[in-house]
Each structure stands twice: as C-alpha cells, then as structure tokens.
Amino acid sequence: MKIAFFSYHSYDKKFFEQENSKEFELHFYRNPLDLDSLKLAEGCDAVCVFVNDDVNKEVLDGLKEMGVKHIALRCAGFNNVDTDYAKEIGINVCRVPQYSPNAVAEFSLALIMTLNRKTHRSYMRIREDDFRLSGLLGFDIFGSTVGVIGTGAIGAKFCKIMLGLGCKVMAYDVKENEELLGLENFSYASLDDIYAQSDIISLHCPLFPSTKHIINKDSIAKMKDGVMIVNTSRGALIHTGDVIEGLKSKKIGYLGLDVYEYEKSIFFKDLSDTIIEDDAFARLQTFSNVVITGHQAFFTETALTNIAKTTYDNLHKLSLGEECLNLV
C-alpha cells in the first residue's frame, strides 16, 4: 500500500517509519491536504491526515478520481472530514479512537495545576531573580468540585485522577460510563448542575453540532464566580468571544486551553517572525489567568507509537477486506 501523509512533522515521520512493520510505501508532505495539494496523493491507495486538514466534498471528489480508497486519521476526532459523503462515494475513513487516554487526562491536570499555583509565572520571576510570592496565591485542589463534560476513555481517566486528588467529581455524558458508576465521590449530573456547582470544569467531549459552543454566554452565566475552565478536547466547544467577556467580567477566574476554536491558522507552525492576525487569540494572550498550549496534550512517546501502530493496523485490515473496528 502507498500512503501519502499530509501536514506531517518530524515526529510523525520518525514514529511512522519506525513502526512500519507492514512495509507500506510512505510519502510525507508538510502541506495540509486541500485542493491545491491534492495532486500529491496521485497514485496512492490511502492518505493520512491530521486534525486541521479539511477533507471536504471537493477534496473527496479529487481523491476518488485519483483512486484513493482510504482516509486514515491519525487522531480521534473526525469533524474535519465529510464522512457522510465519503461513505456515499465509497472511500473508507478510519481513525485512532484511543492512542493514550492517560496522556490527555494527565495534561488536563497539568493545566489545572499550572493555572492554580501559577508555576508558569513563578518560573519567569525566578529567571529574573524576583522571589516575591505576591500574585501567586492558589487554592487546595483537595475538596474541590470538578465538573467533567464527556466520560469516554479520556474523560474517565481524568475523573479517576481528580478522585485520587480528593475531589468531588460530577460528570455529564449522553451515555454513562459503567466503569465510573459506584465510585466514591463520583456522580452523573445535568449540565446545569455541573455549571452551578463546579469549581473546575474540564471538557472531554467530541465536537458535534450538539456540543459546538457548549461553553457560551448562557452556560457561563450559570457558573460559579471565579470558575476554572479547561479544554483539551476540541476548540469549538468554547465560544471564544463569550469566554473573553467572561474573563473580563471575572466570572471566569482561570482558563486553560490546549485547543482553540480557530487554531488551524496558528497551531503546529512557527509564527515567531510574523504578526498573528487573530484578534481574539491575541486578546486571550493578554490575560494573566489564561494558559494556552499548542494542542500538545496527546504528545507523548506512548501516544505517538500507538497512533502509528493503530493507523497501520486499520489500513492493513482495510486492504485485506477484513473488518476494521475503527471505521468512522
């Protein structure tokens, strides 16, 4: 099988090459997959894409015309692919639903601890020989009420981490996770109850029309004053403008983002010599109680190894006509 990788970085190439036990023919392109780069997939059986590649109807038509049979997402989310149309024209779409739930769950905790204890600010002060503690006051995580929206593999891991820290955990999901039921200090609740009672709210749900902008001016108004919101899932779960207003009014006391609603033009690039034209992103960067990271929650050796292995396994099964459990 010949595979074209789009939007690749050096770490993608490293892990996909070292895990290539199937001896697939690999071609790596830094270009995102779009109508302009489509021709690079000529002669390939499959394309491998990431979160910000826009696989719309026009791109799918082009892939079909060139004989591409499979689209392999090296991520869990698939909102950037028109999956209904892909199915209609006979192109398989597979994904990596679980690469390392621990990695993302642990990173969510890292954002919480950084926001709370302000270790990022302390680090910069110490670098300048400023050893004052003023402005670095935090609170005990122990005993806090944590609201978790989405209890799939990652959300469930996060719930257990926060329970281990002595928190009360309230969760919402359209489908309850049986492995969490009966755990001490854990309960499922309505979104309104989570908004009203949580000191910390962490997002772990996929992006669907029903979850887009689940954090908005109306839901923010129902939250505790000074609430902490953390998002390591999908950027568009949060209405950026509404969150900025929440920060300005001090309704939101802390905000941790590893994903951003309009990250496609920013993340995974070196923009240090350019001017970022996204005014909303620039405004977020002005708040001292906001921590933004560049979609790195998944970024561990374990996760990258599993992503490569699962992607190859998906494509191998599809090439043999065998059942692939990770079809979208």
In the structure encoding, which two tokens stand for residue 219, read together?
A: 């839901």
95 in catalytic set = no
Q: What does the alpha-carbon distance between residue 128 and residue 131 come to, in Å, rounded to a whole number?
A: 9
Nearest to 155 by CA among 201, 222, 193, 223: 201
Q: What does the alpha-carbon distance between residue 39 and residue 264 come to, in Å, rounded to a whole number?
A: 21
Options 74, 213, 239, 263, the catalytic residue? 263
3-state secondary structure of 215: strand
Options 204, 213, 234, 239, the catalytic residue? 234
Cβ pair 215, 230 in contact under 8 A: no
Q: What does the alpha-carbon distance between residue 126 and residue 140 come to, in Å, rounded to a whole number?
A: 23
Options 74, 204, 239, 295, the catalytic residue? 295
Helix (H) or strand (E) holding 177: none
Q: What does the alpha-carbon distance between residue 184 and residue 121 come to, in Å, rounded to a whole number?
A: 35
30 in catalytic set = no
27 in catalytic set = no
Q: Dihedral through CA 274, CA 276, CA 277, CA 282, nearest 10?
A: -150
| Active centre residues (catalytic) | 234, 263, 295
